[in-house]
Amino acid sequence: MVRGMLRKLANQSLSVAGKWQQQQLRRLNIHEYQGAELMSKYGINVPKGVAVASLDEVKKAIQDVFPNQSEVVVKSQVLAGGRGLGTFKNGFQGGVHIVKADQAEDIASKMLGQILVTKQTGAQGKVVSKVYLCEKMSLVNEMYFSIILDRATAGPLIIACRKGGTSIEDLAEKFPDMIIKVPIDVFKGISDADAAKVVDGLAPKVADRNDSIEQVKKLYKLFCETDCTMLEINPLAETSDNKLVAADAKLNFDDNAAYRQKEIFSLRDSSQEDPREVAAAKADLNYIGLDGEIGCMVNGAGLAMATMDIIKLHGGTPANFLDVGGNATEGQVVEAFKILTADEKVKAILVNIFGGIMKCDVIASGIVNAAKQVQLKVPVIVRLEGTNVEQGKRILKESGMKLITAEDLDDAAEKAVKALA
């Protein structure tokens, strides 16, 4: 939803290598209902709602939580934007519906357990394990609000627009003068003047100005205390009873803070993530799945991106970003091969190791052991250089494995592409 605009605002590179580098940064993404519960703890106004996982729970929620509501909002919970315009693989249209309370169970039955495809999920879609039942609020105005980490100002940056409820990219294109950016001094924190500047830029129509300032300060407090990397509310709405409400929110958290944000990171829904990336994370490997045919196993992020670039240069397409790091064990190498060979799209595997801290003989032993555990049905191209390279080459030669060896990176990429033929 917001990524396109944020890239423009931060002047980030959209090169292939840059995109992979951004993806490598792991950030926890939580569901809308989880974000609403978290914001509520910080005193931020959110709609009344409850997440349910079965039709019995839907019925109970309608009776207990919304006994006097004639209408409710039923929202499918997947970690992707564009739910409202999404399509379920069972043919049902839309992942967000405003319905009569007595119709909620029927609508939920068409969502729960089904796969929703949106512009952000890819063709494979994501399964809906829960739906979020919310009160239908009477909104009189919709605005946009977000907090991100900005390199240019070396701190949090609040981005706000007096119009909201639709794509921020479209708003930026149509109403660039309505978008305001307020950098916050990371050492001093948000001041009353900072919060007032945001509120004046939002120009609320009915909400009390002082109350709105306090809501902005609470949002900033949440952002900092929970180690957010992004907090986006679209829409930030005004209700008919003159309140400022976070009607829909998206929150991301820095994985580096997992050790001190245990409660938040316990909310991680691995069923919404690429299973290959989940397996890689458990093995302490840096893995990002892509759509190509050449699986890559490399040590070092820079070398990994260079490897993928040279594969592209020779007419191939990388199937993944996989960095085993500088201290990988033999077991991690085995796990890396399991992940690569589990991808049906992979038609060849390129191993490119420049041994510094990482030793070539460890990689070689891992490759041999992986071959014993995994049926290698695709060509494996290996380029080893650096620490213990001769021992590594000897281990591979004595293994009897049918490998394609390469002298340098360019040679390895060329052979990998030819192996696809």
* pLDDT tens, residue by residue, 353-383: 887 777 888 888 888 888 778 777 888 898 8
Question: pLDDT-derived band of residue 17, with 50, 70 and 90 as boundaries?
Answer: very low
Task: Answer with the one of 208, 242, 266 that is the final residue of a domain.
Answer: 266
Cβ atoms of 229 and 149 closer than 8 Å:
yes
Q: Are 249 and 305 contained in the same domain?
A: no
Q: Which phi and psi angles does 124 have, rounded to 5°? A: -75, -25
Tell me, what amino acid is at 241? D
CATH number for the domain harbouring residue 238: 3.30.470.20
Would 162 be classed as within a structural domain?
yes
376-411 pLDDT, tens digit each: 788 889 888 888 888 888 888 888 778 888 888 999
232 has catalytic annotation? yes
Task: Confirm whether 277 is a catalytic residue.
Answer: no
Please state the φ and ψ torsions of residue 391, each to the nearest 5 degrees: -65, -40
Q: Which of 234, 266, 298 is the last residue of a domain?
A: 266
CATH code of the domain in which 295 resides: 3.40.50.261
| pLDDT 10s digits, 166-210 | 777 888 888 888 999 999 999 999 999 999 999 999 999 999 999
181 belongs to a structural domain: yes
- Kindly state whether residues 398 and 292 are assigned to the same domain: yes
Separation between Cα atoms, residue 354 and residue 51, nearest integer Å: 49
- The CA radius of gyration of the chain, in Å to the nearest whole number, is 25
Q: Are residues 297 and 407 in the same domain?
A: yes
Asked whether residue 163 falls in the same domain as residue 89, the answer is no
As annotated, the binding site for ATP includes 75, 82-84, 142
CB atoms within 10 A of CB 262: 9
pLDDT on residue 13? 30
317: in domain: yes
For residues 59 and 63, give the distance between their C-alpha atoms in angstroms, rounded to a whole number. Answer: 6
Let me know whether 160 and 230 are in one domain: yes
- Annotated binding-site positions: 75, 82-84, 142, 234, 248, 299, 356-358
Give the residue from 91, 107, 136 where a domain finishes. 136
Q: Mind listing the pLDDT tens digit for each residue in 56-87?
A: 999 999 999 999 889 999 999 999 888 988 99
Output the pLDDT for position 16. 37
Both 69 and 182 in a single domain?
no
Write out pLDDT tens, residues 200-227. Answer: 999 999 999 999 999 999 999 999 999 9
- What pLDDT score does 11 carry? 36
Q: Nearest Cα to 120, choosing from 83, 94, 151?
A: 83
What the block records as the tokens of 83 is 């739910």
Specify whether the CB–CB gap between 209 and 242 falls below 8 A. no
Catalytic residue among 57, 105, 232, 414: 232
Whole-number pLDDT of residue 127: 93
Do 368 and 413 fall within a single domain? Answer: yes
**318 shares a domain with 202:** no
CATH number at residue 58: 3.30.1490.20
Q: Identify the residue with better confidence: 371 or 17.
A: 371
Does residue 235 have a cis bond before it (omega within 30 degrees)? yes
The verdict on residue 238 lying in a domain is yes
Residue 204 and residue 68 share a domain: no
Quote the number of domains for the chain. 3
Tens of pLDDT along 119-165? Answer: 888 888 999 999 999 999 999 999 999 999 999 999 999 999 998 87
In a domain, 8, yes or no: no
- pLDDT tens for 290-327 read 889 999 988 888 888 899 999 999 999 999 988 887 77
**Residues 120, 216: one domain?**
no
Segment 226-248 mean pLDDT: 94
Of 33, 132, 144, 220, which one is the catalytic site residue? 144
Are 295 and 415 contained in the same domain?
yes
| 24 within domain boundaries | no
Q: What is the pLDDT of residue 15?
A: 38
Domain containing 131 equals: 48-136
Does residue 360 share a domain with residue 341? yes
Answer yes or no: is 333 within a domain: yes
Query: pTM of the prediction?
Result: 0.75
Residue 408 lies in a domain: yes
